[in-house]
Structure 1
Amino acid sequence: MIGAEGLTRAVLGEIDRSLAAHDLIKIRVFGDDREARVAIYEAICDELSAAPIQHIGKLLVVWRPGEARLKENQPQDLGRHAPARRTGVAPRTVTVKKPSGAPNRRPTRKEVTVLGNERVTAGGNVKRSRARPASPKKKALA
């Protein structure tokens, strides 16, 4: 949403992050001036290299595939909020939190090491993943 302050640098950065995450987003602009909304729409598309999709009333729809474009939205600039880079898939340690039977007790926590061919179920159990069965047609071709 774009409020009374208009299109600030912080709002533009949030739109950039949302486009990087979702590709297609809706933006609601508060204000009654149609020309101002069109100017904001064009500024967003020009600044972020996005494509204008639809403008109906106070709702703007913008599309852009790919990564974030603004320099301040790159992972090295996000500091502690940057997603952790995983070097390897396995083994990894997962914390499993199971609720207790009594409502006034704390849930139990247990750390489990999960290998590459294992997964943690919703109940907190570790299961080994199975190979997908081949179809009869593929077996006939082999």
Structure 2
Amino acid sequence: MSLSPEQRRTYRGIAHNLKPVIIVGDKGLTEGLQGELDRALNDHELIKIKIASTDRDVRQEAIQALCESTGAELVQTIGKIAVILRRAKQPNPKLSNLSRHQQ
């Protein structure tokens, strides 16, 4: 699923006011973090992730690994924050950031 520039712009606008839901710390990509990320994507569809590493290359590798393992699409990265998207099969209108924004 490749996002068009218009879609990216729309999703960036929705994500602007969101707080990071997942924070990747010193332990990296643990099994618990993967489970929590999967749950967050199922609930919210569009989320922010904060990677605590100070090394840019390590952050990019972590973001890429998270996207590949969850099947999510990278929308944007700014510094230590990444915005990722994975559409839910049955979105919950009360939790989904996409559904709440459309109303």
TM-score bracket, shorter-length normalisation: 0.5 to 0.7
Residue deviations 1:82-131, cap 9 Å, x none? xxxxxxxxxxxxxxxxxxxxxxxxxxxxxxxxxxxxxxxxxxxxxxxxxx
Shift of 1:44: 0.7
For 1:7 and 1:57, locate their aligned partners in 2 and report how far apart those are by CA, in whole Å. Answer: 18
For 1:19 and 1:42, locate their aligned partners in 2 and report how far apart those are by CA, in whole Å. Answer: 15
Shift of 1:7: 1.1
Shift of 1:12: 1.0
Q: Highest Rg: 1 or 2? A: 1
1:6 to 24, 28, 48: 28
For 1:44 and 1:16, locate their aligned partners in 2 and report how far apart those are by CA, in whole Å. Answer: 10
Note the aligned Cα RMSD (angstroms): 0.8
Provide the aligned length of Structure 1 versus Structure 2: 67
For 1:59 and 1:31, locate their aligned partners in 2 and report how far apart those are by CA, in whole Å. Answer: 11
Residue 43 (str. 1) matches residue 50 (str. 2): no
Shift of 1:47: 0.6
For 2:37 and 2:84, locate their aligned partners in 1 and report how far apart those are by CA, in whole Å. Answer: 10
Give matches, 1:1-142, under 5 Å: 1-67=23-89
Shift of 1:48: 0.5
Q: Which runs of 4+ in 1 moved over 6 A?
A: none
Given the two structures, how large is their TM-score scaled by the length of structure 2? Answer: 0.63
| Unaligned stretches of 5+ residues in structure 1 | 68-142
Between Structure 1 and Structure 2, the one with more helix by share is: 2
The share of aligned pairs that are identical, in percent, is 39
| Unaligned stretches of 5+ residues in structure 2 | 1-22, 90-103
- AA of the residue aligned to 1:36: V
Shift of 1:31: 1.3
For 1:29 and 1:64, locate their aligned partners in 2 and report how far apart those are by CA, in whole Å. Answer: 19
